[in-house]
Structure 1
Amino acid sequence: MFSPSKADVRQFFCSVYAKAQAGQSLEAIEKIASLWMDEHPEYRAELADVNAALQTLSAGTDGQNNAFLHLSMHLSITEQCSIDQPRGIRQAVELLTHRLDSLHDAHHAVMECLGQMLWESQRSGRPPDGQSYVACVQRRATRD
C-alpha cells in the first residue's frame, strides 16, 4: 500500500500546481489534482511555495484549514468513485451531486462522512467501515 508522508503530499500538489501554471503536460492523476486546485483559488499562495508549505509542516503551524488535506480528500473521493470502492460510493456521490447540483459541493459533504469514518476507525482501532461511510453519503443524498 502506498503511504506518502505529509511532506510528499505537499510536494506533489505544489509540483502539480507549478507544472499547470507553466503549461506543462500533466499525468492523469496530476490532471485530476489540477482540476480540484482550480476549484480552490484560495489555496494558490500555499500551492505556489513548496518551501513555505514544508516549513509550515515542520513548524507545526498547519492551522485548521489545510489545503493539502482538503485537496487530498478530493482526490481520494474521485478515485473511490472511479473504482466504486467502497462498493456503492459512486452511486451515492452521483445522487448527492444531483441533489446539490454540484460535484464540488457533493465532495465537500462526502468529506464530512469520510472524516467521520476515519475518526471512528482511529478511535476504535478497527478498520474503516466502508458500509457506514456509503450509508452516510446516501443519507445526505436522500434527506429532505
Structure 2
Amino acid sequence: MENEELQQWIEQVSLDHFGVPFTHEALFNRRLTTTGGRYMLKSHRIEINPHQLEVYGREEVEKIIKHELCHYHLHIRGRGYQHRDPEFKALLQKVGGSRFCQSLPDGKGRKPLPYRYKLVCKSCGTEYLRKRKVDPKRYRCGRCAGKLLLREI
C-alpha cells in the first residue's frame, strides 16, 4: 500500500465514522517502532506504522487510524484530545478504535535490551544490569552492602 492509498483510506474512515472530513496529510513512517501511529499537533499530520499492516492486516490498522483520528478531530475542535481525557475515551469507544496497538514480534522494529554488563554481589548474589562499564570498587550492594563483581553478558 502506498501513501496515496493510505490518505484515501483515512479520509474515508473519517467520513464514515466521524462524519467530518480529514483535510490534512497522512503517510506511512517506517521509523515508528514501538507505536502503531501518531498524530502531529502542529502539522495535523497522521503517521502510521507500516509494520502493523504487514503483520496484523487492515482490520487492526483501521483501529489505529480511528485512534489517531480521535486525536485529530478533538484537537481541531479544541476539546480534550489526550489519552487521559474523558472526551477522548468516549469518542474512541464510540467509533471502535483501539486503545493500544498490538506489539510487533521480535525483529520487526524491536531492539534487544542494551545491557552489556552485570554487577553481581559476592555475599547475597543480587544482580544489577548495566549498560555501561563501571568500576565495581566504587559501589556496594544495595541489599547487603557486600562487594560487587563486574561481568560481561
| Larger proportion of strand | 2
TM over 0.5: no
TM-score w.r.t. the length of structure 1 is 0.27
Q: Which has the higher contact order (CA 8 A, sep 6+)?
A: 1
Max radius of gyration: which structure?
2
